């Protein structure tokens, strides 16, 4: 595979781009940073699919398209199936010699938001992972149905307020913990799964490249802060991801072949989760005295998860 090596952010911002800058994503949305990074980390041909969601509605509104490569969107749930249908056809046509360029390397990548990945498209994703297609699925995890105005998904963390899990006089917002999608995908026996964040952009590019190089179904969950629904200033997107990775509410790690876990980033100074929660409007209500115990619970969950990740890294099982 032809790997593009990007030395610095200046180069990253100016290099050849198959994802056009002209799109209608919100200013400050991390989706475009993550997508650009994927598309710039390889020179191979790309077939991209997208589930319905913010990315899709903002990049392919007729008669415009932001995609200077093959791109398909079918529905909310089936990007994994669409791109793996293409992967299978590629295999057949390569064998038969009916491709326009039979030798050019091609990579197959599906994008989905957390709503389509954790919820409505879960079955389609699981099926495609189980079938062992050679593709990479990237979840742009902004922890809510942002495209439809901020409803809870099973990726929404406990304590966040959303339009369908509202904080109010009798509620602290969402009551349930976030679904552990990375472990579920690793349990499929995937050769490579990871959780990555755009503030550590070199690490992210490396993870993407690893997924593209690895034969078989790979899965990457990426944190994609949503200034509109998380309620922060659009200029602070990367600062929010710094707080996410350094408070360990969003740890960066990879799991190879379902068992070999490597922690990719260990913050020098681990921040308290209050610093992360306090930077976003969606957690504002938690700072009332009556919800102190929720913040404590979030912190203790993070501590337990971090301990678990470290033990798994040591155990290699």
Partner 1 sequence: MAVKYDLNEREVWDGNFAASQALRQAQVDVVVAYPITPSTPIVENYGSYVANGYIDGEFVMVESEHAAMSGCIGASASGGRVSTATSSQGFALMAEVLYQASGMRLPIVLNVVNRALASPLNVRGDHADMYLGRDSGWIQMGAFNAQEAYDLALCAFKIAENHDVRLPVMVHQDGFITSHTAQNVYPLTDEAAYNFVGDIVPVDDMLDFSRPVTYGAQTEEDWHFEHKAKQHKALMDSRPIIDEVYAEFEKLTGRKYNRVESYDMEDAEVVIVGLGTTVETARVAAKELREEKGIKAGVVAIRCFRPFPFDQVRDALEGAKAVAVTDRSSPGGAMGAFYNEVAAALYTTESRPLVTNFIYGLGGRDFSIEEAKRIFIEQKAHADAGHITTDIQQFSGLRGPHLGYFQTKRG
**Interacting residues with partner 1 (CB under 8 A):** 45, 47, 49, 56-57, 60-63, 65, 67-75, 77-78, 81-86, 88-93, 95-96, 98-101, 104, 106, 123-124, 126-127, 130-131
The candidate with the shortest Cα–Cα distance to 17, out of 73, 69, 59, is: 69
Is 120 or 223 the residue whose CB approaches partner 1 more closely? 120
CB of 166 to partner 1, least distance (A): 29
Output the smallest distance, CB 63 to partner 1, in A: 7
Structure-token pair, residue 52: 């319905």
Give backbone dihedrals phi and psi of 262, rounded to 5 degrees, phi first. -120, 125
Residue 63 or 289 having the CB closest to partner 1:
63
Q: What does residue 73 show for φ and ψ, rounded to 5 degrees?
A: -130, 130
Q: How far is the CB of 59 from partner 1 (least distance, A)?
A: 9
Contacts of 262 (CB under 8 A, 6+ apart): 253, 254, 255, 256, 313
Q: How far is the CB of 60 from partner 1 (least distance, A)?
A: 4
Give the integer Cα–Cα distance in Å for 227 and 16.
Answer: 27
Burial code of 49-75, b = ≥16 C-beta within 10 A, e = fewer? bbbbbbbbebbbeeeeebbeeebbbbe
Question: Of 109 and 286, which CB lies nearer to partner 1 in the complex structure?
Answer: 109
Place of tokens 């090596």: 5
The residues facing 85 across adjacent strands are none
């Amino acid at each position: 595979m032809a790997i593009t090596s990007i030395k610095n952010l200046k180069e990253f911002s100016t290099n050849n781009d198959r994802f056009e800058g002209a799109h209608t994503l919100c200013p400050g949305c991390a989706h475009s940073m993550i997508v650009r990074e994927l598309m710039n980390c390889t020179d191979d041909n790309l077939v991209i699919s997208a589930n319905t969601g913010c990315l899709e509605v903002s990049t392919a509104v007729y008669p415009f398209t932001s995609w200077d490569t093959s791109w398909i969107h079918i529905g909310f749930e089936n990007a994994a199936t669409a791109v793996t249908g293409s992967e299978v056809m590629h295999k057949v046509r390569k064998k038969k010699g009916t491709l326009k360029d039979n030798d050019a390397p091609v990579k197959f990548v599906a994008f989905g938001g957390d709503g389509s990945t954790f919820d409505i498209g879960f079955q389609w994703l699981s099926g495609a992972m189980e079938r062992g297609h050679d593709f990479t699925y990237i979840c742009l995890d902004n922890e809510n149905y942002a495209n439809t105005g901020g409803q809870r998904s099973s990726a929404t963390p406990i304590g966040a307020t959303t339009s369908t899990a509202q904080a109010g006089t009798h509620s602290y917002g969402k009551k349930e913990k976030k679904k552990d999608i990375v472990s579920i995908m690793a349990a499929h026996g995937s050769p490579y799964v990871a959780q990555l964040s755009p503030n550590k952009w070199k690490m992210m590019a490396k993870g993407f490249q690893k997924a593209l190089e690895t034969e078989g179904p790979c899965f990457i969950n990426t944190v994609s802060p949503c200034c509109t629904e998380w309620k922060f200033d659009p200029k602070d997107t990367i600062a929010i991801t710094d707080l996410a990775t350094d408070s360990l509410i969003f740890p960066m790690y990879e799991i190879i072949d379902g068992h070999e876990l490597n922690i990719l980033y260990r913050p020098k100074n681990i921040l308290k989760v209050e610093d992360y929660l306090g930077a976003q409007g969606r957690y504002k209500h938690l700072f009332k005295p009556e919800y102190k115990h929720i913040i404590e619970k979030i912190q203790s969950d993070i501590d337990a998860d971090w301990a678990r990740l470290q033990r798994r890294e040591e155990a290699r099982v």
